[in-house]
Amino acid sequence: MLLQFCAALISALVFLFHDPATCIALTPDEVVKKIQGVTPAQRKAALEEGARKEGEVIWYTSMSFTDYPKMVGAFEKVFPFIKVKANRLSQSAIFTKVDTEAKAGRFAVDMVGSAPTEIWELKQKGYSAAYLSPELKFFPAGSYDPQGFWSSFEVTPIVLAFNTKLVSQDDVPRSYQDLLLPKWKGKMNMGSDEYAWFSVMLDGMGKAKGLDYMKALARQQLHIPGSSSVMRLQLMLAGESAIVIAARGRRATEYKEKGAPIDYRLFDPYPAEPNALALMRRSSHPHASILFIDWILSDEGQTVLAQQIPRLTLRKGVKQIPRHQELYKRDFVFVNPASIGPNLNELIATYQKIFNVN
């Protein structure tokens, strides 16, 4: 009887994990359900078997043209039977493309990598599927959706940068409140669309106190030259302003390492904008997509991202390059898709009104 039971169990597992019908025609939700409650070895075998038959994964990403090919190349070395076809789009264009294709009955994309607002829109429209990777136990709270509709694999910290030739060490602001001192009036620049920073600040300060602070900050005669964070740093380095509010930490560290007269500070709250992956509900290659998500969240994938590209990762224990390590000295306050997404229009209108941005 025992031998008969074991034989039946083996036959069932072979059918579950190797039958072509279960490996090709399943939806992402069905694949996620199939791999729950099995051993890691069985899970890996099922995903790889399905991915071999699918052969590819379509990824819409906002990662730069110089960076995403490095991630794709590293992944394809590990899984040479999967071809990643990446389509690089701006953050604002990604959702529009997915939405337009879906309304036309075309569901080409398997995964989307983008910013909090777009990730929230995908979830609200029902375009993304719930998937909680086992790798997420190594990630901080707030960096992924508890329901599994998005998982952040990298982050953009937002810092205060200053020109060291124009700001002495004794005068360096130590908090956001210090920016309201009379000596900084007319000497700071900020972007025309810093909505992610604005959202975290209002959430952290409380809406009423946050708005009062922003109105006081606006009275400091800020320079608002445009949306480009790189341009604002360059203007500061050229001496057109002493301080950059809501500077990108990654860029600030690059300029500092190259010897530019720049330094930065991490304030509380310490805003950080995640770049997240979402599995699409109508994915035609769910096994390959899940393998990609698991890999980019794995220690191996995060190490490639941190060391070889390099970008700022979120998995605990991954070693960052020296110039990035200082950016981890405070805990990030992540831009929350559930906060910025439904309130974006109001945030934009309020920001533009307070800071007189057309």
pLDDT at 22: 41
> Which residues is 141 bridged to in the sheet?
none
Same domain, 163 and 253: yes
pLDDT at 92: 86
Domain residues for the domain of 314 are 10-155+273-322
Same domain, 126 and 189: no
Tell me how far apart the alpha carbons of residues 224 and 245 are, in angstroms, rounded to a whole number.
10
pLDDT averaged over 10-residue windows placed end to end, the chain, 358 residues: 44 43 72 96 97 98 95 98 97 94 96 96 97 98 96 98 97 98 98 97 96 98 96 98 98 98 98 97 98 98 97 98 98 95 96 96
Looking at the domain assignment, is residue 254 inside a domain?
yes
> Which residues is 159 bridged to in the sheet?
247
Same domain, 119 and 261: no
pLDDT at 5: 43
Tokens linked to 152:
């952040």
Q: Which residue has the tokens 């009423």?
A: 208
Same domain, 117 and 215: no
Name, in order, each residue with C-beta under 8 angstroms of 71's C-beta and a sequence gap of 6 or more. Answer: 63, 296, 301, 304, 305, 309
Tell me the CA distances in angstroms from 227 to 45, 65, 75, 336, one per residue in order.
Answer: 47, 20, 33, 21
Q: Which residue has the tokens 């302003």?
A: 241
Structurally, the chain folds into a number of domains equal to 2
Helices (H), 258-306: 286-297, 299-303
CATH code of 92's domain: 3.40.190.10
The dihedral through the CA atoms of 318, 323, 326, 332 has a sign that is negative
Quickly list DSSP for 127-176: -B-----GGGGGS-TTSB-TTSS-EEEEEEEEEEEEETTTS-TTT---SG
Same domain, 290 and 342: no
Same domain, 29 and 147: yes
Same domain, 340 and 309: no
Tell me the CA distances in angstroms from 278 to 127, 144, 193, 196, 300, one per residue in order.
Answer: 9, 10, 24, 19, 20
The pTM score is 0.90
Tokens linked to 231:
């341009």
Same domain, 134 and 161: no
Same domain, 179 and 194: yes
Tell me the CA distances in angstroms from 261 to 41, 156, 161, 187, one per residue in order.
Answer: 52, 22, 10, 16
pLDDT at 74: 98
pLDDT at 15: 40
Same domain, 187 and 235: yes
Same domain, 236 and 343: yes
